[in-house]
Amino acid sequence: MVSELRVDKIHNEGGDNDSGIDLSTNDVVKINIAGAEKARVDSSGRVSVGTASADASALVTLNKSTTAAFGNPVLQVGGSTYTSGGYYSVGLGYTNSTYTEPPAEIAYVPTSDSGGTKGVLVFGTRNATTNTAVTERMRIDASGHVFVGATAEFVDSSGSSAKGIQLHSDGLVIASRDGSVSAIFGRSS
């Protein structure tokens, strides 16, 4: 019986020998596929998938430690690559080789690349059992306004609108149906 095995790398025996586990860096376990690093676990227990570092450039980072406030997420989706209007999403629900589109998604969509960026949080679902992408159902913007059935403020200075509900962080509530405002609550004028 072997009580200890010391190796720096473990590679697949058949084929092109370019996939395996790399232990050659102290306190880091790397998973290589097709000759490139695809995942790693570092000495602090962070797991990164899709990148060689468990930091802000990570596509997905799992942290084992938590804090009492925002700023150190257990799951980080996104990284140092900014895509205007790009969806940094998490899919929820059943998928398989036939049904590849998840039935629900939550996503961050950046609206500005200034500094550390800012954006909106969107929620999507689908109302079909087919393999179709979700449709946005709700959005929270950077000001804290909530839009249900709408993607932005839909009442402009002329009073025209689309359908949906707006819940503003200052208490203003606007409901619209069929292109006309049906109710405004909390209006000061």
Say if residue 181 is exposed, middle or buried (CB neighbours under 10 Å; 0-12, 13-18, 19+). Answer: middle
Per-residue pLDDT of the chain (189 residues; tens, 9 = 90+): 777 878 888 888 777 878 888 888 888 888 888 888 888 888 777 777 766 655 544 456 666 666 677 776 777 777 666 777 788 888 888 888 888 888 999 999 888 878 778 889 999 999 999 999 999 999 998 888 888 887 776 654 445 556 788 888 788 888 877 767 777 888 565
What's residue 92's pLDDT? 87
Alpha-carbon gap, residue 109 to 151, rounded angstroms: 12
pLDDT at 130: 93
State how far the Cα of 172 lies from the Cα of 43, in Å rounded to an integer: 49
In the numeric block, which tokens belong to residue 147? 């839009």
Contact between 21 and 29 under an 8 Å Cβ cutoff? The reply is yes
Q: What is the pLDDT of residue 123?
A: 95
Distance CA 142, CA 157 (A): 21
Instruction: State the pLDDT at residue 183.
Output: 78
Give the pLDDT score at 167: 83
Give this prediction's pTM: 0.65
Model pLDDT, residue 80? 65
CA distances from residue 95 to 90, 91, 98, 99, 131 in whole angstroms, order as listed: 13, 9, 8, 5, 9
